[in-house]
């Protein structure tokens, strides 16, 4: 009998197939004591396992490339954390086996993360995955993971670690469903990069029996268990229609009546450029430069290394617009040379621009590298600061750009509610705004973007979030300046129409989402987008806002 479940759709498309479940977690190793004379040998085993796991994660990243590579390299750094390794060795020195020492050291660190504020608590799943890989290697057992299957299937898991998501084979994994996670979790971001339909934050998904046929709609978040033939035909027909619509629309982003909405790509480095170009991106709306810095948490990359990475991206978009976000360190992206180690709540502490203003040499080097990378190129370079709270922040950043001799537009990210509320004041110092809807939702609703239990508050359709977007766009229009969106909200085709109706002037997203957004915008006039935006803002919940906008755009 057909039943319907609803989670959060995070990656477009339809998948119909039999369920396969992710392998279970590694069992807890026994608490066995070892003689003192075996401690050195066990410490050596632990170090070897850590290095092997880190190397494996880096190798997986190299295979996957793009966004996945940066995520997995950060996870490898987590495995090699010197304090964690030192704790493992201390535990072995007093009698633990290598595997038990790893298990207990990671458990202690896990507790610290879980209690250090919701932002860092969202990294617990990544930490658990690293622990499981090291323990599995020490025990000599295979790491549980994506199931072996000769036939395509729909994967169900409690959550998916980046190392598993990055190497999913789209020819076998038709789509996936997780109980945890949210629209901006690593799994969601990587699913969109892979083009695999995905639904997250679906409690009870693990109870769907192995082999059960399900139909997954990654756009609506609906899961149909044992769908009827009629439902399957309906979804397959809708999926075919979507694909046909995508291939029929090409060129720059615009509404049906010709209102231009540039569609840009979010990239983490040169590895993400080919997919952006293939999708027809008109430029880069968010160049996340922090991935370059995460290669070594002990020191900033040299000016020469930065120049090479920046120039590779800038060269790919001649005559195009490339918006670079300067280093956004802190919270879940700590850097030993930059961010405090003892903050009680790093997400609310010295993060983003605050870190850079405390370390002006790091900011100056990055701005100088950007200036040199753009020399002689016909590219429209724009540079923006993360976590701008007020006009003073914006002025400090603009002054630093001028002092570095940077020939570019200077902008501010709107990720803190105060920046949206005082956007016009901030625009007295900078030339454009870019809305980071992921963090803006997190700070507006006090809801961690990685915690599935509060995913409804991370929904970018929340009317309160749309109000803040509207305030920012209105301020930019009043000042004759631009206001883009570079958060995950821009990747939702229906919401892209609403954002356009709110006055947003450009949309930036993962490359895989660009064709969907382009095709949807092309079906509606600017006036329709404006009416949909008004209807969404008048609603009292995210679901009601989505339905109201849909009703307007479908002519109901």
Q: How many CB atoms lie within 10 A of CB 234?
A: 15
Residue among 414, 406, 412 at smallest CA distance from 431:
412
| Residue 4, φ and ψ in degrees, nearest 5 | -120, 130
Among the listed residues 208, 192, 125, the one whose alpha carbon sits nearest the alpha carbon of residue 452 = 125
Neighbouring C-beta atoms of residue 554, cutoff 10 Å: 12
Q: What angle do CA 304, 310, 315 make, to 5 degrees?
A: 120
Catalytic hit among 12, 70, 186, 524: 186
Distance (Å, rounded) from C-alpha 131 to C-alpha 105? Answer: 9
Q: Residue 11 is inside which H or E element, if any?
A: strand 8-11
Please, what's the b/e burial string for 409-435 (b: 16 or more CB within 10 A of its CB; e: otherwise)? bbbbbbbbbebbbbbbebbebbbbbbb
The answer to whether the Cα torsion of 447, 489, 370, 64 is positive or negative is positive
359 catalytic residue (yes or no): no
Rounded CA separation 280/277 (Å): 5
Q: How many CA atoms lie within 13 A of 48 on its CB side?
A: 11
Nearest-angstrom CA–CA distance, 460 and 458: 6
Query: Active-site residue 70, yes or no?
Result: no
Nearest 5°: CA angle at 271, between 198 and 8? 15
CB within 8 Å of 146: residues ≥ 6 apart: 22, 23, 155, 164, 167, 168, 173
DSSP-derived secondary structure for 171-193: TTEEEEEESS--TTSHHHHHHHH
Question: E-assigned strands of 39-165?
Answer: 153-157
Q: Which of 401, 483, 486, 529 is catalytic?
A: 486
| Alpha-carbon torsion (364, 356, 431, 304), positive or negative | positive
Q: Would you please indicate which residues are annotated as catalytic (active-site) residues? A: 186, 486
């Amino acid at each position: 009998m057909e039943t319907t479940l609803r989670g959060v759709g995070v990656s477009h498309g339809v998948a119909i197939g039999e369920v396969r479940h992710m392998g279970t977690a590694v069992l807890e190793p026994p608490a066995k004591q070892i003689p003192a004379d075996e401690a050195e040998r066990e410490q050596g085993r632990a170090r070897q396992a850590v290095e092997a796991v880190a190397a494996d994660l880096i190798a997986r990243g190299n295979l996957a490339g793009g966004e996945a590579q940066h995520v997995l390299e950060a996870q490898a750094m987590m495995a090699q954390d010197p304090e964690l390794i030192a704790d493992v060795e201390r535990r072995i020195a007093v009698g633990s086996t290598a595997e038990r020492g790893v298990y207990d050291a990671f458990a202690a660190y896990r507790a610290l993360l879980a209690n250090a504020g919701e932002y860092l608590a969202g990294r617990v799943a990544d930490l658990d995955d690293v622990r499981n890989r090291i323990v599995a290697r020490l025990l000599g057992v295979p790491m549980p993971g994506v199931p072996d299957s000769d036939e395509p299937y729909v994967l169900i898991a409690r959550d998916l670690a980046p190392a598993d998501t990055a190497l999913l084979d789209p020819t076998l994994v038709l789509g996936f469903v997780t109980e945890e996670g949210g629209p901006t979790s690593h799994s969601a971001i990587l699913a969109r990069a892979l083009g695999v339909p995905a639904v997250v934050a679906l409690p009870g998904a693990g109870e769907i029996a192995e082999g059960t046929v399900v139909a997954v709609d990654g756009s609506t978040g609906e899961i149909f268990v044992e769908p009827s033939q009629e439902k399957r035909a309906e979804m397959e027909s809708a999926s075919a229609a979507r694909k046909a619509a995508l291939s029929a629309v090409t060129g720059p982003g615009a509404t049906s009546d010709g209102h231009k909405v540039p569609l840009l790509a979010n990239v983490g480095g040169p590895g993400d450029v080919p997919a952006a170009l293939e999708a027809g991106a008109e430029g880069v709306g968010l160049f996340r430069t922090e991935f370059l810095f995460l290669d070594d948490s002990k020191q900033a990359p040299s000016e020469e290394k930065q120049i090479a990475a920046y120039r590779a991206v800038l060269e790919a978009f001649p005559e195009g617009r490339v918006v670079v976000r300067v280093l956004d360190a802190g919270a879940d992206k700590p850097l030993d040379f930059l961010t405090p180690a003892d903050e009680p709540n790093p997400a609310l502490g010295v993060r983003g621009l605050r870190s850079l203003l405390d370390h002006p040499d790091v900011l100056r080097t990055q701005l100088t590298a950007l200036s040199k990378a753009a020399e002689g190129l016909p590219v429209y370079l724009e540079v923006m600061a993360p976590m701008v709270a007020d006009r003073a922040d914006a002025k400090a950043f603009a002054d630093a750009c001028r002092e570095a001799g940077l020939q570019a537009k200077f902008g501010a990210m709107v990720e803190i509610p105060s920046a949206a509320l005082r956007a016009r004041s901030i625009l007295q110092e900078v030339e454009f705004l870019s809305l980071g809807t992921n963090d803006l939702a997190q700070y507006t609703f006090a809801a961690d973007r990685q915690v599935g239990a509060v995913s409804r508050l991370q929904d970018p359709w929340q009317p309160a979030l749309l109000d803040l977007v509207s305030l920012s766009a209105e301020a930019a229009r009043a000042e004759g300046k631009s206001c883009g969106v570079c958060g995950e909200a821009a990747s939702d085709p229906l919401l892209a129409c609403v954002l356009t109706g709110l006055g947003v002037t450009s949309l930036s997203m993962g490359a895989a989402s660009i064709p969907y957004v382009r095709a949807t915008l092309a079906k509606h006039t600017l006036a329709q987008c404006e009416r949909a935006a008004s209807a969404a803002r008048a609603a009292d919940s995210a679901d009601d806002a989505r339905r109201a906008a849909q009703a307007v755009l479908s002519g109901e």
